[in-house]
Amino acid sequence: MENKVRNGLVICALLVFAVLIAGCSDQSSAGTTTTEPTTAPPQAKFAAGDIIAKSASSTDPMLYVITQYDTKNGMYTRAWIYKNADGSWGHFRDNKTEKVERTLVEKVYPVKIARVTVSSIPIVIPTIPPAAVETLSGSAPTVTGISPASGAKDAVVGVTITGTNFESGATAKLARAGYPFITGTGVSVSSATSIGCTFSLSGAEEGSYNVMVTNPGGQSDTKMRAFSIGQAPPIVESFSPTTAGLNSTQLAFVINGQNFKEGVKVTFVQGATELVCVNPASLDTKKISCVIDLRVSNGAKAGDWDVKVLNIDGQQTGTATGKFKVDNSTPIA
């Protein structure tokens, strides 16, 4: 009998010990949590209202101002802001904006030089004051066009102005509200419909200009916003390779030319199809290297393709039309 009691006590003790162990195990399990690591989106360097420049010493009368940042897509929205007459920032001249990738903006324009409230910036459209009324003699010219219609800042550009009633001794000028005239030199009136001259764009402000021709008797005509001054556009002179097989992958591509900048974008275009060259790098102003994917799954197809180089900073494009050929020499995987 005594043995049975002793054995019963041992069994009870073992049961209590097992319950305690199970309880500790459950508490330990319940108290343990697993936190999944998260990756925070990249922080934007600039915020709405920041006026940005390439250097802290910039004295430009117009710069980019950030109007918005899209955290989801990592894109800045920016616009041109201009200085007021008293040198303060500023005002817009239109309501145009553009979206640019965060990394490109922060690379090309790393410095914040001022901050404004975007909602309080007015749009001020420049106007050319009317000329004083006077009695003029001779026939009035008409300006119908100019070629080339653009020139790089600080360049010397030879142009041909077309129109009617041009007279010997006529003058040609580029005009923009708020800025001095740019007067053409070496003016040659080859006929009543054509004038040749040279414009020196040294120190000229970037933007659109009106083309004005004045005959010796004082009669004049102006073609509005017919000429633009900006950064020199990229020029595509050659590239390698010039042909490749369909479904080629990781194809190394090199472009030679002029005026290439940091942040370039290279694309291959055929009709409505555009292939983007990956990781384009401007080794200097005359060479770009990148990698192109010519798989059918990426949108590639046989035929001739245009090669385009876009300078992101100034939005100028250089194009080699129909110069790159994709053929079926590579078997389709």
DSSP E strand stretches across 116-206? 142-147, 150-152, 156-164, 171-175, 182-183, 185-191, 194-200
pLDDT in tens, 12-64: 566 555 555 555 444 444 455 555 556 666 789 999 999 999 998 888 888 99
Q: Which two tokens stand for residue 193?
A: 């419909």
Residue 191 has pLDDT above 90, yes or no: yes
pTM (whole model) above 0.75:
no
Q: Which two tokens stand for residue 124?
A: 């001020």
Confidence of residue 149 (pLDDT cuts 50, 70, 90): confident
Among 98, 92, 107, which Cα is nearest to 54's? Answer: 107
Cα(48)–Cα(74) distance, integer angstroms? 14
Domains of the chain plus CATH, in order, are 50-120 (no CATH), 142-230 (2.60.40.10), 235-327 (2.60.40.10)
Q: Which two tokens stand for residue 75?
A: 């894109």
Cα(130)–Cα(86) distance, integer angstroms? 24
- Our CA angle for 12, 15, 20, nearest 5°, is 130
pLDDT in tens, 202-222: 888 888 999 999 999 999 999
- Pseudo-torsion of CA 14, 20, 21, 24, nearest 10°? 180
Q: For residue 258, what is the enclosing H or E element?
A: strand 251-258
Amino acid symbol at 199: F
Q: CB neighbours of 257 closer than 8 A, spacing ≥ 6?
A: 234, 235, 236, 237, 238, 286, 287, 288, 309, 318
CB atoms within 10 A of CB 103: 13
